[in-house]
Each structure stands twice: as structure tokens, then as C-alpha cells.
Structure 1
Amino acid sequence: MQIESIKIKNYRVFQDVEVKEIPNMAVFLGMNGVGKTTFFDVFGFLHDALQSNVRAALAKRGGFNEVRSRGQDGDIEFEIKFRPSENEPLITYQLEICLSEDKKPVIKKEIMRFRRGQMGAPWKILDFSFGEGLAAAGDLVKYEDVQLAKRDSQKLDSPDILAIKGLGQFKEFIAVSQLRRLIEDWYVSDFHIEDARGTKDAGYSERISPSGDNLALVAKYIYDNHQEIFEEILVSMEKRVPGISKVEAQETADGRIVLRFQDGNFEDPFVSRFVSDGTIKMFTYLILLHDPEKHALLCVEEPENQLYPNLLEELTEEFRSYALDGGQVFISTHSPDFLNAVELNELFCLIKKDGYTRIQKASESQIIRELYDAGDQLGQLWRQGVLLEEVGK
């Protein structure tokens, strides 16, 4: 899947924002407090709303009035344009959330539009309001005329439930279930070093959790089932972390899984709780980026934290390789060292003005393009204050 654009209205610091022409790997740059975390939380919010409902997702964030942009009285709105795969048509998904008469958050509008080819008006796959609406059945890509697709009236159990959750469970609504699966597969990192250090009861996990608390279990799974991938991870670890020659996920006598890191300079391995934060974080990223099944969207905040600056260029290449191999990657940063490995068309700048934040592509600034083409690195331009100064005008 590739998200090509996103509009956000009345979601915290994003009173009215549109991000266009998003590449496979996109890097979001800004000062502290401008909304990098909030931008990623849009995807977390949609994921939570799908897992439960809109009311619960808002309550987790303080409620409707806390989430809605300060000083605004409009609805919370999102519009995402994406392609399920490179050769499939563009799909537009719109969601509008308001307060009901009894002050409960409900879905005022939920629409999916489909357009095959460049000509003609988009055709609605899904059109719901306050828990009722129409949905198209069948594989729309195979229809010679999508207007021939069968559309049935549907009613959800509650007006705060996403239609893509209710209908996405049924195989006849192919396009709807496709979007549901894609959102379920979004990964928004909330990584915590201490959680990743911890031991876990022996069990089974195939993919890293957002917090990284199942790192040892996933390492064991990859070692047991994908030996060649685990060897690739070890080769990368040896290059990036001096001295590390081996990593093991061992089951202890009391039935727990613990990570052990072997330093070639010492006879005995170190248990994960005794190795550096940077070692744990690099190993976690490598496990995540070498997942045999790519996430449709990977959101990672400030990967530079706890890592030696010289490692960031290679880590950027790991992220880019992941994106080129099928999974879209969004990264937030304010590290000049990380930016030095970023390409101009991958960079978006967040600028706060009059209490709200807007997002602009760095390549839209003629001055930045000229400096970049002349050989200036983006990290250098960031240190000099050029990026935000010029893009923000």
C-alpha cells in the first residue's frame, strides 16, 4: 500500500493541513512541540478506532473536545488517498466525526471513493452517515463498469463504529475489507528501551509490538523459523555495534525467554539488561526492518535517540530499503546527522504559526532546491535554520 496524500482538519495542532505527493519513505522534520508525534497519532487514532470504535479512540486521547483543535467548533475530519498496490486504482477514504445532540462522538460521514483510470468522476464504494448507508459488493477492479456493482443498504450496531470495521469482516465487500486489513497492519512505534530489555514468559510472537516488549520472543521466532534472515541481522549488528558477534534468545530454567549478547572480547555473553541502550535499540530496529512480512505503513519517531550519530546514515538506508521492498515508512526527526542521509524529495517540514501547524514539502522551496543541488546537505541546512525559514515563508 502507498498513501499518496492526507488531509487533516481540527485534529489538535492540525487545524487544516494537507500533505501531497508522499513518497515511499517520508521524513517529517520540525522543532519540539510542532506536532510530529500528533501527525503519527492520526494513524494511531484510526487504528484504535478500527480496533474498538471512535468514542473509545477519542477517550484514550482525552475526549472529543480535547482532541479537536483549540478554538475550533467544526468536526474532526480526515481524508486519505492511497493505492492498495502499485497497479491498482486510487482510493479515497473520508471520515468526519462530530458530537451528537447528547454530546457523544459519532461518525457524521464515512465515504470511500474509487476511480479507475484518469478520467471520470470517482464512484462511491462506501457511503455511511450515523451508522447507516450503502456499500458496494464484489471486486470492483474486475467490473467493466463499476456502476454495475451491487450496492446494498446496511446498518451498523452503533453510529460510533467505523463501517470499514463492520463490513470489512465480510468477504463480499472486497474493497472495504482490503482497507480494513491495511489499517490493521499499520505500525506506529511507541518503543521503550526498558520494555525491550525485559524477559518474557516462553511463548510465541512473530512481529515486534509497538513498545518492543516482546523483542526476545520475536528474535527467537526469527531464529527458529527464518535462519537466513537472523544471520542477516547478525551481520548488520556486527557492522553497527563494535564487538557484538552473536545474539541469542534463550529459554531459562523458569520458562522465560532472555536475550544474550556476545561480545567477542569476553568469554561470557551479556544479558540484555546489561547492554547499552543503543545496542538494544539497533537490534530492535533490525528485527523490525527484517520482518518477513512488511507492514503496510511503518511510523517511527526520532530513531536517532540513543544511537551513535555515525550509525544514522546506515539506518536511513535500512528504512529506505524497507520502503522500496513494499512497506511505506514515515519517520520523524530533528537530527542533522539523520537528515544528511535523507533525499530532498523525502523531506517534509512542520512549521507552527499562530498556534497551528502546517506541513510543506522541502522541495517546494526554490532556494532549498538550489542549495541542495549545489551540494549542501540537509542536516547542514537544518543547523543553519534555512529549512524552516525558507519553507515557512
Structure 2
Amino acid sequence: MRIESIRLKNYKSFRNATMADMPDLCVIVGANGTGKSTLFGVFGFLKDCLLHNVSRALQPRGGFKELLSRGADPSEGIEIEIKFRMEIAGIERLVTYGLHLGEERGRPVVLHEVLRYKRGRYGSPFHFLDFRKGAGYAISNEEDFNRPDEDLDREEQKVSPDTLAISGLGQFERFKAANAFRQLIENWHVSDFHINQARGSKDAVGVDEHLSETGDNLQLVARNLYENHRDIFNDLLESMRRRVPGVSSVTPKLTEDGRLLLQFQDGAFKDPFIDRYVSDGTIKMFAYLVLLHDPRPHPLLCVEEPENQLYPKLLGELAEEFREYAHRGGQVLVSTHSPDFLNSLELDEVFWLRKRDGYSEIMRAKDDPQVSAYMAAGDQMGYLWKQGFFTGVDPQ
């Protein structure tokens, strides 16, 4: 399952923008304030809408009027459209999820929610889920492609006007596309790594399979890999040795008081160092490798500015780690300001954001004739960015 495109209308700085033809590894460049965090925040907003409702999701974001683009007519509402590819009945299909939000009598409402894709090679996409203001239907036997459209089983449903229909229906496997989209949003991961939270001993109770957003469970996840996925942990250590000179091993250590910490062994010394005394860059690189060697990759992984605290020469190899993670099944979105990271990327992996008349626009590197020509001639993306070939973006 892979996201093909995202379209935003009247969503904060994105008055009308589309990010199309998204690759497995998608890297976004832009000056401060151009909308990189806003773009990543779309998934967090959808997740909050899914787990709670639109009203609850809007509260920490300042309400409907703060999410609405400046100068936009409130009657137009906010639109989010995501297209993704998934296999249904043995055929890969392009599925569209559309969400149109508005406000009535000061309260948020789902004006329209739709999930659609083509049943056959020809014709218009069929609506398998279609709700307006809390009332609508979902098709319960969508994989029965031998039946004509009019014979499909429609389940009429009612939900609260500020609740996503996919929130409930997506829990049932018989609603194939709705279930897949719900799992995508529920299991997406944004890395907001905090080194101070990753350091130190942690309570050893329980087993954590996935690294948390802040990295505060790094020790528990490392222990899970060490004890239950030793081959993966050994591959991780080999990558660590190549990237951090001197580090020969990392071992999760259980203390006498039932706490868990990480010991880093430097080949030049007999005794290991605990994680409290190793460098920020070493901790961060190890955390990224733990994240990217996850035995069950997140369907969507978002990382903002991974270059912070890392030595520039490490960024090319880190980019390759992100690419390998994406090829294992977890699509990756990364924002960066680093030319060294960009230099390791391919033409179709890079997008940039720019502001025009106060609103954010999304540009694709491979659609720019000049950038494409320079890359074909052997130039590297980071150098082109520094030299000002990304129109509307100036890193100086």
C-alpha cells in the first residue's frame, strides 16, 4: 500500500496544492515557514479525527477558523484528498479518500466523506463509502466483482455529523479499502526524536516493538530486537560500526534495581560506556537505525530534519537507510535543510515548497526542466539547491 498523491484545499497555508506521483522515499525541501510541518501535520490531524472526532481534533489546533486558510471563504470548507494504491481482488487499484469539512452554527461538520475506486478497467470510480453530514452508506461486499453495481449490498448508516464514517466502518475487514486506509492512518509514525528523553535507564517492565515518537523507549525496543530478532540486531550493529568510528557493540543491560540501559562498547577501551556519556550524534544514529530496522515497518514514516546532531558525511548513508526501509514496505517522508542529505537522492525523490502570495506551493524536482537536465548531466541535488536552482527557495 502506497500513497500516490495528496491534495489540500484551504488547509492552513495550502490554499490549493497537490503533491502527486509520490515515490517510496519522498524528501521535501523548503525555507522556514513554507509549510513542511503543516504538510506532515495532515496525517496527525486525520489520525485525531479517526480516533476521536473532528471537534476533538480541531481543539488543539485552534479550531476550524485557525485551520482554514487565511482569506478563504468559510463556506468553501477544508478539503483533504489522499490517493493510495492497494491490492483488491488480486488487482492493484488506485483508491481515493476524500474529506470535506465545514462549519455549521459554529460547530464543525463532515460535509462529505467518500472512498472510491474503479471496479473495472473502464468507467468512473465507484463510491464504496459515501457520507454527508452523518448519513450515508458503505458497500459491504466490495470484492464481489462479478455482481453489477446495482446488486452490491449497501449498508445504510448514521454517525454524528462531526465523526468520520471510516472511524467505525474501517474496523471491519469486509470494508476492504476503508479498513486499509484506517490502518494506514492509525499506524503512521512521525519521528520527533528528543535525545534527552532517549538517554538514561528506563523501567524494564514490558516489551516495546516500535520506537516511540520521542525515542523515550529506545532501551526497550533495542532489548526486543536483541532478544527476539538477533539477526536484525546484528545487521543494525554492523551499520552502526560503519557509521560511528570506535563503536564495536551496543548491549541492552538490566540493572540490579530492574532498570534497563544501553552500554556502548568502544574498541579502544575495556569497559563500556552507558548511554548517558556517549555523544548526541551516537545516540541519534543508533535510534535511527533501531527505527529503520523495525521488523514491521510503519506503512508511513515521517521524519523532520534528520541531519540535526549528525556528522555531514553520515547523511548519505542515512538516506540510503531510509530508502531501504521504504523498499521494505514503509513509505517515507523526510524534510531536510541538508545539501549532504540531498546529494544522495534521486531526481524523482525530491519536492520543494515555496510561498507565493502568502500560500504554499508544492514543486516536484523532476518537473523542472533545468534541474532534470543538470541531474542527467551528473550534478547532485544538494549542489543544485545551494546554487539556487530550486525556484522560489533560497537557502542563503
How does the TM-score come out when normalised to structure 1?
0.95
What is the deviation of 1:170? 2.7
Match of residue 98, structure 1, among 85, 96, 102: 102
| Percent identical residues | 54
Q: Distance in 2 between matches of 1:370 and 1:247?
A: 45
Residues 1:25 and 2:22 aligned together: no
1:176 aligned residue = 178
Aligned residues of 1:93 and 1:110 also touching (Cα < 8 A): yes
Deviates more, 1:188-197 or 1:145-154: 145-154
Summarize the alignment of residues 111-122 of structure 1 with structure 2, pairs less than 5 Å apart: 111-122=114-125
Summarize the alignment of residues 217-228 of structure 1 with structure 2, pairs less than 5 Å apart: 217-228=220-231
Question: Which ranges in structure 1 are unaligned for 5 or more consecutive residues?
Answer: none
Q: Distance in 2 between matches of 1:324 and 1:218?
A: 22
What is the deviation of 1:59? 1.2
Match of residue 369, structure 1, among 366, 369, 372: 372
Q: What whole-Å deviation, never above 9, does each CA across 1:265-314 have from its counterpart, x for those lacking one?
A: 22222221221111111111111111111111111111111111101111
Question: Which ranges in structure 2 are unaligned for 5 or more consecutive residues?
Answer: none
2:63 aligned residue = 63
Task: Name the amino acid aligned to 2:80.
Answer: F
Aligned residues of 1:2 and 1:85 also touching (Cα < 8 A): no
Residues 1:296 and 2:306 aligned together: no
Q: Distance in 2 between matches of 1:198 and 1:132?
A: 51
Q: What whole-Å deviation, never above 9, does each CA across 1:303-332 have from its counterpart, x for those lacking one?
A: 111111101111111111111121111111
Question: SS where residue 23 of structure 1 aligns?
Answer: coil
What is the deviation of 1:171? 3.4
Task: Name the amino acid aligned to 1:153.
Answer: E
Residues 1:229 and 2:235 aligned together: no
What is the deviation of 1:117? 4.3
Deviates more, 1:161-170 or 1:222-231: 161-170
Aligned residues: 388
What is the deviation of 1:388? 2.5
Question: SS where residue 262 of structure 1 aligns?
Answer: strand
Q: Distance in 2 between matches of 1:82 and 1:32?
A: 29
2:34 aligned residue = 34
Match of residue 323, structure 1, among 321, 326, 347: 326
Question: SS where residue 17 of structure 1 aligns?
Answer: strand
Question: SS where residue 170 of structure 2 aligns?
Answer: helix
Summarize the alignment of residues 259-338 of structure 1 with structure 2, pairs less than 5 Å apart: 259-338=262-341
Deviates more, 1:105-114 or 1:167-176: 167-176
Question: SS where residue 368 of structure 1 aligns?
Answer: helix
Aligned residues of 2:31 and 2:393 also touching (Cα < 8 A): no
Task: Name the amino acid aligned to 1:32.
Answer: N
Match of residue 164, structure 2, among 162, 165, 182: 162
Summarize the alignment of residues 42-57 of structure 1 with structure 2, pairs less than 5 Å apart: 42-57=42-57
Question: SS where residue 267 of structure 1 aligns?
Answer: coil
What is the deviation of 1:390? 9.0
